[in-house]
A and B are shown apart, each in its own frame.
Chain A
Amino acid sequence: MTRHSDMSVRNRSKEFPLIRTRKLGRLYRTGEQVVTALKDVSFDINEGEFVAIMGPSGSGKSTLMNLLGTLDLPTSGDYFLDGENVADIAADELADLRNRTIGFVFQQFNLLPRMRALAQVTLPLTYARRRSGNLKEKARKQLALVGLEDRADHLPSQLSGGQQQRVAIARALINSPKLILADEPTGALDTATSKDLMRLFQRLNGAGITIILVTHDAEIAAYAQRKIVFRDGRIVTNKNQRNSRLLKVS
């Protein structure tokens, strides 16, 4: 039996969680210096979870998010996404996998400066290998879902920070991904806007999307079901939160 069919059997049996890391490590070599950004990180995240990742600056949170998003590869250990070891997947297939399965939300929004909101949202669709229906119509619906139906023709410079982040979320959602990876999505927003955004994430999680969110802010982390805390590249806490705002709402 080949390795590939072996894994598809595992997939079907739901033995594997959406995300599984085992002794994951990432070293950075800059000249003589070696920085251990992550060391022996092992955890599982099931489909439908809402997980907050916390820790001081430089503790390896962004490094982990890059690995989970398949934008980077670990220097040691294994990362299984949907039952498949990412190290075994070819670069082009990883690109397709990101396109179908993962939506990214960044602290700095990462919108293209001279592109209107509707086109920003359409962008991932243009890289989809299989295309269906009217792209613009789909993007318009997605914008409506984040409450920006009347901002479709606006440039990023004509939108507030919160609105820009909503456009970015609409872009992340357009291919109906299983997983949203958000690295400090509220880092550039004020408190009220942050709370609005967290309610949006809650709603998406309620619809079944797995969300992993990095934050410094305990208030923000309180929206998640589970909190994983990092220090110096290692997990120091990994536990469910009884008093999660998510649980209170639902």
Chain B
Amino acid sequence: MRLLDTILLAISALRMNFLRSILTTLGIIIGVASVILMVAVAEGARSEVEKRISSLGSNLLQLRPGSNRIRGRSVGADSRLPFSEGDVSDIRKKVPSVTAISGHFRRNGTIVYRNTDWLTNIDGVHSEYLQVRDWAVEIGRFFGEREYQAGAKVAVIGTTVARELFDDENSIGISMRIGDTPFEIIGVLEHKGATPSGRDQDDVILVPLSTLRSRLVKRHKLVPDQVGYVSVKIDETEDLSEAKEDIEFILRKRRGIKNSKSDNFYVRDVSAYQFAKTETQQTFSFLLAATAIISLIVGGIGIMNIMLVSVTERTREIGLRMAVGARRSDIRTQFLVEAVVLCLIGGIIGTVLGIGGAMAIALGANWPVLISPEVLALALAAAALTGISFGFFPAQRAARLNPIEALRSE
């Protein structure tokens, strides 16, 4: 018998018991929907993490004072010893895989232009800061190394500041005040948008960290050449952990830490740190995977049950088919195809529900909806495989019937 005929035969047989057939596939529906949800959630979470990392800049190491192991507890007087200009220039000079390095010192401040003022973040950074953050200026330019060394009173503003203070009018060359100090605006940053946690990254003014130290911060609060947090960008082709070890070696030496003593700073790989945050999502995925497998097994047993009922109900039909020339393999194929078609119907319904659920979750979590053709293929393959596995025994039982007894049965 041709496969197409067998499929059509299966569909017409299932239509005769329409409601029963649909109810039977409930387990398959839940299983397949779970498969799709599971993959969509995993993909959504992954893309979310990737977005976070790329908003920070990729291939990034972050340097923090203090102990990574004993967080929040200060151990000794120098445990929070900040990084200095010397640390930055030493790392830049001695670690060849470093492509950019910048300190980052933030304070709040009010900027004034004519009779408008605006409270914003004033970030003191080095001249390589934009490379570190994978950022760029939209209009104008960023400050260079010479201006940095000279402590020039120049500023590059974020788009939010440009809008709030200058109504998006050209602001290059304009002088404004931060506190009492006049600064010249030399550039406007590209729009970067909000962080996933909702903080506006464009509500910022970047100034040379040297200028911030000398002009904007009261002396007694600072070690003379403190640079705040340090971010280091490593060449894409280089080994991140090797660079991390090099930097740690330099800093231990500069800070006079003996081999046996523990570090009073730590260097952290941003991507590793961010991936650790997805553990909750992994747990969720695991639960969905368990649900999918259990539902498919329970659904498969339901399919097996209904197929056994169907074989019993149609014993006489099987006997007749054998009498008119069906081989045992024809009978087996007929019932196997029926089980697979039944599971695929459940699979299609489950797919629709799964896509709906994935969209709802994506909407709630503010993720993109990520459902690839491969996932749909995987889900339907899981359904078909369930049909084959659990349909085999009933099909085998049908194929083994004795034609005479089958014809005589009621």
Bound together? yes
Instruction: List the interface of chain A (C-beta within 8 A of B).
Output: 66, 69, 71-72, 91-92, 95-96, 98-100, 104, 106, 110, 112, 114, 123-124, 126-128, 171, 175
Q: Please name all residues of chain A whose beta carbon is closer than 8 Å to the beta carbon of B1 when the two chains form the complex.
A: 126-127
A71 touches B404 (CB 8 A): yes
Do A92 and B323 form a contact, CB below 8 Å, given A72-B404, A126-B1?
no
Q: Please name all residues of chain A whose beta carbon is closer than 8 Å to the beta carbon of B320 when the two chains form the complex.
A: 110, 112, 123
Q: Which of A95, A106, A110 lies at the interface centre, i.e. has the most chain B CB atoms within 10 A of its CB? A: A95
Q: Please name all residues of chain B whose beta carbon is closer than 8 Å to the beta carbon of A106 when the two chains form the complex.
A: 407
Given contacts A72-B404, A110-B319, 16 further A-B contacts (CB under 8 A): A66-B404, A71-B407, A92-B329, A95-B326, A110-B316, A123-B321, A123-B324, A124-B324, A124-B325, A126-B1, A126-B2, A127-B321, A127-B324, A127-B326, A128-B325, A175-B325
Whole-angstrom distance from the CB of A66 to the nearest CB of chain B?
5
Q: Please name all residues of chain B whose beta carbon is closer than 8 Å to the beta carbon of A98 when the two chains form the complex.
A: 323-325
**Bound complex: CA of A19 vs CA of B121, how far in Å?**
104
Whole-angstrom distance from the CB of A234 to the nearest CB of chain B?
21
B87 within 8 A of A: no
Do A91 and B328 form a contact, CB below 8 Å, given A66-B404, A71-B403, A114-B16?
yes
Would you list which residues of chain B between 321 and 343 have a CB under 8 Å from chain A? 321-330
B323 touches A69 (CB 8 A): yes
B406 to A, closest residue via Cβ: A71
Whole-angstrom distance from the CB of B70 to the nearest CB of chain A?
78
Do A95 and B404 form a contact, CB below 8 Å, given A114-B16, A126-B1?
no
Would you list which residues of chain B between 1 and 25 have a CB under 8 Å from chain A? 1-2, 5, 16
Would you list which residues of chain B between 186 and 223 have a CB under 8 Å from chain A? none
Whole-angstrom distance from the CB of B389 to the nearest CB of chain A?
25
B13 to A, closest residue via Cβ: A114
**Bound complex: CA of A100 vs CA of B1, how far in Å?**
14
A174 to B, closest residue via Cβ: B324
A114 to B, closest residue via Cβ: B16
Q: Which of B5, B316, B323, B404 contacts A126 (CB 8 A)?
A: B5
B404 touches A92 (CB 8 A): no
Q: When A and B form their complex, what is the total count of cross-chain residue pairs whose Cβ atoms lie within 8 Å?
A: 56
A71 touches B325 (CB 8 A): no
B317 within 8 A of A: yes
B321 touches A104 (CB 8 A): no
A135 to B, closest residue via Cβ: B5
Would you list which residues of chain B between 263 and 287 have a CB under 8 Å from chain A? none
Q: Please name all residues of chain B whose beta carbon is closer than 8 Å to the beta carbon of A95 when the two chains form the complex.
A: 322, 325-328, 330
**Bound complex: CA of A71 vs CA of B323, how far in Å?**
7
Whole-angstrom distance from the CB of B131 to the nearest CB of chain A?
72
Q: 11 interchain pairs (CB within 8 A)?
A: A71-B322, A71-B404, A72-B404, A92-B327, A95-B326, A110-B320, A123-B320, A127-B1, A127-B325, A171-B324, A175-B325
**Bound complex: CA of A160 vs CA of B128, how far in Å?**
95
B404 touches A99 (CB 8 A): no
**Bound complex: CA of A163 vs CA of B316, how far in Å?**
20
B329 to A, closest residue via Cβ: A92
**Bound complex: CA of A69 vs CA of B404, how far in Å?**
10
Whole-angstrom distance from the CB of B206 to the nearest CB of chain A?
78
B2 to A, closest residue via Cβ: A126
Whole-angstrom distance from the CB of A226 to the nearest CB of chain B?
25
Q: Which of B2, B324, B329, B407 contacts A99 (CB 8 A)?
A: B324
Leading 7 A-B pairs by shortest Cβ distance: A99-B325, A124-B324, A127-B325, A95-B327, A71-B403, A92-B327, A127-B326
Whole-angstrom distance from the CB of B230 to the nearest CB of chain A?
78
B326 to A, closest residue via Cβ: A127
**Bound complex: CA of A95 vs CA of B16, how far in Å?**
28
A93 to B, closest residue via Cβ: B327
A127 to B, closest residue via Cβ: B325
Whole-angstrom distance from the CB of B345 to the nearest CB of chain A?
19
**Bound complex: CA of A240 vs CA of B322, how far in Å?**
33
Whole-angstrom distance from the CB of B399 to the nearest CB of chain A?
11
B330 to A, closest residue via Cβ: A127
Q: Which of B2, B320, B326, B407 lies at the interface centre, i.e. has the most chain A CB atoms within 10 A of its CB? A: B320
Whole-angstrom distance from the CB of A124 to the nearest CB of chain B?
4
Q: Please name all residues of chain A whose beta carbon is closer than 8 Å to the beta carbon of B323 when the two chains form the complex.
A: 69, 71, 98, 104, 110
Q: Please name all residues of chain B whose beta carbon is closer than 8 Å to the beta carbon of A72 when the two chains form the complex.
A: 404
Do A104 and B324 form a contact, CB below 8 Å, given A110-B316, A114-B16, A127-B1?
yes
Q: Please name all residues of chain B whose beta carbon is closer than 8 Å to the beta carbon of A110 when the two chains form the complex.
A: 316, 319-320, 323, 407
**Bound complex: CA of A110 vs CA of B407, how far in Å?**
8
**Bound complex: CA of A95 vs CA of B327, how far in Å?**
6
B323 to A, closest residue via Cβ: A104
A112 to B, closest residue via Cβ: B317
**Bound complex: CA of A245 vs CA of B324, how far in Å?**
30
Whole-angstrom distance from the CB of A120 to the nearest CB of chain B?
10
Whole-angstrom distance from the CB of A183 to the nearest CB of chain B?
10
